[in-house]
């Protein structure tokens, strides 16, 4: 339900009513890949302002298994989180397996990155797994491709297959009270983006995802793709969810273009590397200049990390390689994201977004923001390539596991 529409942009505020609560949009979802947001417990997530979290179908299917989670009463009971949950379809993770995966019309056959065992994900299987996990929102199975690194022919084939799989996902879905979102693809081609959005909006999904972005495209290419998609969705009041986008400046630009919901591992991932997102950009707490700074990570932040600890203490923890370092910084980064999105929502609801936009862009650390200090690079573009194959390229299959996976692939 749309509750407010900005007059100077496509930004909008709304309410997403789900079985475990109401999500005020626009909003950012922390990612709990393995039914946990790394190092944090559910009560801490609530204190940070998290309204909804994402869990990963592919990972939970492999470990501990969706049947086991179902026996424990579903994800909410299993992880003791009583607010809404969204599960992705597993399509992105399967495709990101690269040489460990083969795809055809039936589905995607892949070797587990854990032990090399063979599995087949189809739209029906993905929906079966998600229904067993029991989130508030399930997502149709799709075939994403690298936005910039794919030809128009590859993008077209993947998009058409995603459309056929969307229909199969709808037919397979039968869990009462569980929403199902469809995914519009099309790479960075505006015409294909518009075509895909037009097709997906014609189907009875409860929400529409913008898939296949937040990868190897430039921000300019991404914004063009978003504009083409949202134009094709004009007048459609269903929630729009851009998958995988996670930096404050990128989220703000997407909200201005009419996107409502986001997720990314980025805030937690950069925290583990010592990067703190703060008002005006970011700090690298591995930088030696922070070793003697008594001030909090961000004086404008109300998180428990900023209320209690100094930059010097966190800088020390990172150098000592203490686990508490990335736990404290994950708390801060996720609270920063939640508070920032709350400010954006309030500005839309009050009709002051246009007037507050310069301040919000500066707070997000957008282009032109003054540097916070040498080595911190607050205005730098976030690292690209999030959609690159991770498991095979990273060498996560080793020894006998890798040999089994390769041998299984060779038999196909």
CATH number of the domain to which 60 belongs: 3.20.20.105
Rounded average pLDDT over 88-98: 86
**Do 349 and 254 lie in a common domain?**
no
- Classify residue 373: in a domain, yes or no: no
**Do 322 and 190 lie in a common domain?**
no
**Do 224 and 325 lie in a common domain?**
no
137 neighbors 84 (Cβ within 8 angstroms): yes
- Classify residue 303: in a domain, yes or no: yes
Concatenated DSSP letters for 55-80?
A: E-HHHHHHTT-HHHHHHTTSHHHHHT
- Classify residue 374: in a domain, yes or no: no
- Classify residue 9: in a domain, yes or no: yes
**Do 71 and 112 lie in a common domain?**
yes
Domain count, the chain: 2
Rounded average pLDDT over 319-345: 98
**Do 99 and 233 lie in a common domain?**
yes
Our answer to whether residue 263 is catalytic in this structure is yes
- Classify residue 291: in a domain, yes or no: yes
**Do 117 and 19 lie in a common domain?**
yes
**Do 287 and 406 lie in a common domain?**
no
C-alpha dihedral, 247 to 250 to 254 to 255, nearest 10°: 60
- Classify residue 369: in a domain, yes or no: no
Buried/exposed code over 127-156 (b: 16+ C-beta within 10 A; e: otherwise): bbbbbbbbbbbbbbbbbbbbbeebeeeebb
**Do 259 and 288 lie in a common domain?**
no
- Classify residue 376: in a domain, yes or no: no
Rounded average pLDDT over 45-65: 97
CA distances from 253 to 102, 209, 249, 279, 357 (A): 35, 17, 6, 17, 10
Q: Tell me: pLDDT of 369 over 80.
A: no
**Do 325 and 214 lie in a common domain?**
no
- Classify residue 371: in a domain, yes or no: no
Tens digits of residue pLDDT in 253-312? 999 999 999 999 999 999 999 999 999 999 999 999 999 999 999 999 999 999 999 999
The H-or-E segment that residue 250 falls in is helix 248-256
* Strand, coil or helix: 218: coil
pTM of the complete model: 0.91
What mean pLDDT, rounded, does the chain reach?
Answer: 90
Rounded Cα distance between 92 and 57, Å, is: 10
Considering 27, 142, 260, 263, which one is annotated as catalytic? 263
**Do 283 and 407 lie in a common domain?**
no
- Give the range of the structural domain holding residue 234, as residue numbers without chain letter: 2-264+385-411
**Do 170 and 296 lie in a common domain?**
no
Our answer to whether residue 27 is catalytic in this structure is no
**Do 209 and 192 lie in a common domain?**
yes
Q: Tell me: pLDDT of 201 over 80.
A: yes
Considering 27, 88, 250, 298, which one is annotated as catalytic? 88
The predicted pLDDT at position 395 comes to 39
379 neighbors 365 (Cβ within 8 angstroms): yes
């Amino acid at each position: 339900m749309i509750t407010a529409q900005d007059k100077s942009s496509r930004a909008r505020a709304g309410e997403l009513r789900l079985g475990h609560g109401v999500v005020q949009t626009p909003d950012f979802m922390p990612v709990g890949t393995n039914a946990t947001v790394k190092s944090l417990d559910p009560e801490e997530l609530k204190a940070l302002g998290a309204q909804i979290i994402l869990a990963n179908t592919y990972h939970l299917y492999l470990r501990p298994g969706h049947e086991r989670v179902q026996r424990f009463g579903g994800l909410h009971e299993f992880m003791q989180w009583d607010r809404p949950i969204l599960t992705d379809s597993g399509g992105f993770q399967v495709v990101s397996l690269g040489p460990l995966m083969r795809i055809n019309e039936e589905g995607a056959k892949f070797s587990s990155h854990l032990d090399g065992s063979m599995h087949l994900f189809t739209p029906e299987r993905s929906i079966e797994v998600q229904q067993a996990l029991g989130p508030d929102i399930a997502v149709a199975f799709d075939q994403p491709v690298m936005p910039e690194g794919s030809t128009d022919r590859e993008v077209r084939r993947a998009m058409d297959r995603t459309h056929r799989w969307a229909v199969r996902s709808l037919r397979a879905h039968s869990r009462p009270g569980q929403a199902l979102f469809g995914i519009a693809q099309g790479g960075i081609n505006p015409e294909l983006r518009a075509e895909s959005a037009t097709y997906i909006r014609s189907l009875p999904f409860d929400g529409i995802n913008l898939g296949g972005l937040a990868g190897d495209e430039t921000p300019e290419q991404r914004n063009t793709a978003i504009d083409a998609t949202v134009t094709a969705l004009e007048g459609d009041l269903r929630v729009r969810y851009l998958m995988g986008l996670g930096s404050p400046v990128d989220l703000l630009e997407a909200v201005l273009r009419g996107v409502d919901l986001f997720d990314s591992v980025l805030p937690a991932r950069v925290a583990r590397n010592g990067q703190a997102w703060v008002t005006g950009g970011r700090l690298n707490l591995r930088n030696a200049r922070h070793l003697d700074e008594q001030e909090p990570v961000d004086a404008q932040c109300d998180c428990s990390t900023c209320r209690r600890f100094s930059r010097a203490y966190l800088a020390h923890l990172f150098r000592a390689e203490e686990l508490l370092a990335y736990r404290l910084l994950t708390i801060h980064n996720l609270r920063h994201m939640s508070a920032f999105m709350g400010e954006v929502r309030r500005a839309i609801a009050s009709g002051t977004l246009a007037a507050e936009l310069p301040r919000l862009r500066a707070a997000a650390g957008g282009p032109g923001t003054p540097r916070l200090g040498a080595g911190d690079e607050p205005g730098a573009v976030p690292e690209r390539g999030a959609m690159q194959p991770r498991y095979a390229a990273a060498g996560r299959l080793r020894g006998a596991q890798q040999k089994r996976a390769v041998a299984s692939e060779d038999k196909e």
